[in-house]
Chain A
């Protein structure tokens, strides 16, 4: 892969930040967009726009076909059995809320337990939290170890006869830990517990195969996959989508509506109430084409090599403390600096055009466990190079210089 050429496909890099080249190291937050994705949104609105699934005119039929094409592209990308197992949502957050809400409503009762981990992003904790109040369920947390990792034993230890669902991240957005999700799912299934995987960080960086993984639910954030904002995907095994009640009510998701009652539509319409993020869905098809053109395995390899390089140079820097050294690490480099608060680091790096994130990264449970109020985080995407990481290191040294002057 020629990264210089790939970078050219992202118009954002033509711009300067504080008169410097942009070194974008915040892809775990949201990735930048290739021109094909941006153009697709423009083309759809200027040449092909219509609402989908409602009207019979030419544009409506064409738009509906485009919209459904993306569903098939996603199905193939993650190797789902059926395109109807792909539900579009407004984000991964909504995807998880959908499952927590409908699964909770139908299957959970007082005293039941939900098992998550201490690594979870707030979006895979807060939606479940509502069930504490509405259903009286208990939420258990599998312990993260000193490397920022979750192993199968820590999950096994927290499974009880009352555990009704397991919700785990695929790849931690703080420590970078890639969880042994396949083994965890096998373990849970051996005890008849369904598993939701929060794939926000998994889907953009790892090859996915729903048949091999065998999870029940997988949540995807499209804007972290070089795609548009306002869009997520929920993959769910067909039996769940058939069994679970609808989530939101509105147009498009109904069968028949009468004064005395309502029937609901077939999949996937049952879960797509109202006018969906049509342009975003269609443009997301281009994100998948973009990833497929490069090859997710190649992207994985490139990012693994970069992560290793980043770890090496940051470990050599005596002022830097890397957070988490999991066995299997994704392209996330969280760190702290002696005597410099992460927010000050982020402001100073920004002056050099280096975009990182500072704070708790929506993982307060994990930060509390680590005994840190905040960390700084550099996270990678396909467009990053070793030069970007060298610039990161030299801007970190600038922080140290300013604070020790």
Chain B
């Protein structure tokens, strides 16, 4: 266990000053996520344009540094991605958090990969994995117009 892996400078920075925090007008998809065990909440808003590209994405939420940083980094990486890319990135991220040692997607740069890998510290903290994955599951829900709220205790 190493706290330095979990609380990297980048995570602390995004946790304290989350990017894309807030709501914007003209969003056409949104979804809420909730972890009833700890109270973490996230609400993802996005605009999917006519080319199925995320032209804007923001989130509202409250939670621990890990969940806020994860939502912050996720929204940064998702902006201007097209639907198939969004899906690929989500799958890649969730696979990495679950058991893969690295990210395999080719659609983000090495720098972006490094940024996303900063969340890999949670792998050593099973109780905290859900903090990192909640925003991502919520994004899936928004993209697929799944009704209801994402609940960490009901979803994988």
B128 at the interface (CB under 8 A from A): yes
- Whether A18 contacts B39 by the Cβ 8 Å rule is no
Contacts A343-B64, A344-B7, A347-B125: A358 and B1 contacting too (C-beta < 8 A)?
A: no
- Beta-carbon contacts under 8 Å, A319-350 to B: 339-344, 347-348
Contact with A along B123-147 (1 / 0, CB 8 A): 0010110010000000000000000
- Beta-carbon contacts under 8 Å, B1-60 to A: 1, 3, 6-7, 9, 12, 16, 37-41
B88 at the interface (CB under 8 A from A): no
CB contacts (< 8 Å) of B12 on chain A: these are: 402-403, 405
B125 to chain A, nearest CB (A): 6
- Whether A360 contacts B6 by the Cβ 8 Å rule is no
Within 8 Å by CB of A359, from B3, B38, B131, lies B38
A369 at the interface (CB under 8 A from B): no
B121 to chain A, nearest CB (A): 10
- Whether A358 contacts B3 by the Cβ 8 Å rule is no
Bound-state Cα–Cα, A402 to B66, Å: 14
- Whether B131 contacts A343 by the Cβ 8 Å rule is yes
Bound-state Cα–Cα, A358 to B128, Å: 12
Bound-state Cα–Cα, A18 to B1, Å: 8
Contacts A359-B37, A402-B7, A405-B12: A341 and B64 contacting too (C-beta < 8 A)?
A: yes
- Which residue of A343, A351, A359, A360 has the most chain B CB atoms within 10 A of its CB atom? A343
Contact with B along A376-405 (1 / 0, CB 8 A): 000000000000000000000000001101
Contacts A339-B16, A402-B7, A405-B12: A374 and B125 contacting too (C-beta < 8 A)?
A: no
Bound-state Cα–Cα, A342 to B66, Å: 12
The count of chain B contact residues (Cβ–Cβ below 8 Å) is 21
- Which residue of B3, B12, B128 has the most chain A CB atoms within 10 A of its CB atom? B3
- Whether B3 contacts A351 by the Cβ 8 Å rule is yes
A367 at the interface (CB under 8 A from B): yes
CB contacts (< 8 Å) of B128 on chain A: these are: 343, 347
- Beta-carbon contacts under 8 Å, A150-187 to B: none
Bound-state Cα–Cα, A341 to B9, Å: 16
- Whether A344 contacts B64 by the Cβ 8 Å rule is yes
Bound-state Cα–Cα, A403 to B11, Å: 10
CB contacts (< 8 Å) of A360 on chain B: these are: 38-39
The closest CB in chain A to the CB of B3 belongs to A351
B138 to chain A, nearest CB (A): 16
B112 at the interface (CB under 8 A from A): no
- Whether B3 contacts A348 by the Cβ 8 Å rule is yes
A373 at the interface (CB under 8 A from B): yes
B65 at the interface (CB under 8 A from A): yes
Bound-state Cα–Cα, A341 to B40, Å: 10
- Whether A358 contacts B16 by the Cβ 8 Å rule is no
Within 8 Å by CB of B38, from A339, A340, A374, A405, lies A374
The closest CB in chain A to the CB of B62 belongs to A373
Bound-state Cα–Cα, A250 to B127, Å: 39
The closest CB in chain B to the CB of A18 belongs to B1
CB contacts (< 8 Å) of A351 on chain B: these are: 1, 3
Contacts A347-B125, A351-B1, A351-B3: A359 and B66 contacting too (C-beta < 8 A)?
A: no
The closest CB in chain A to the CB of B4 belongs to A402
Within 8 Å by CB of A373, from B7, B39, B66, B131, lies B39
B114 to chain A, nearest CB (A): 20
B12 to chain A, nearest CB (A): 6
- Whether B65 contacts A344 by the Cβ 8 Å rule is yes
The closest CB in chain B to the CB of A375 belongs to B39
Bound-state Cα–Cα, A405 to B41, Å: 26
A268 to chain B, nearest CB (A): 35
Bound-state Cα–Cα, A341 to B7, Å: 13
A117 to chain B, nearest CB (A): 21
CB contacts (< 8 Å) of A342 on chain B: these are: 64
A329 to chain B, nearest CB (A): 24
CB contacts (< 8 Å) of B65 on chain A: these are: 340-341, 344, 403
Bound-state Cα–Cα, A288 to B3, Å: 40
CB contacts (< 8 Å) of B127 on chain A: these are: 347
Contacts A341-B65, A373-B62: A367 and B39 contacting too (C-beta < 8 A)?
A: yes
Bound-state Cα–Cα, A235 to B106, Å: 65
Sample (27) of A-B pairs whose CB atoms are under 8 Å apart = A339-B16, A340-B65, A343-B40, A343-B131, A344-B66, A347-B3, A347-B6, A347-B125, A347-B127, A347-B128, A348-B7, A351-B3, A358-B38, A359-B37, A359-B38, A359-B39, A360-B38, A360-B39, A374-B38, A402-B3, A402-B7, A402-B12, A403-B7, A403-B12, A403-B16, A403-B65, A405-B12
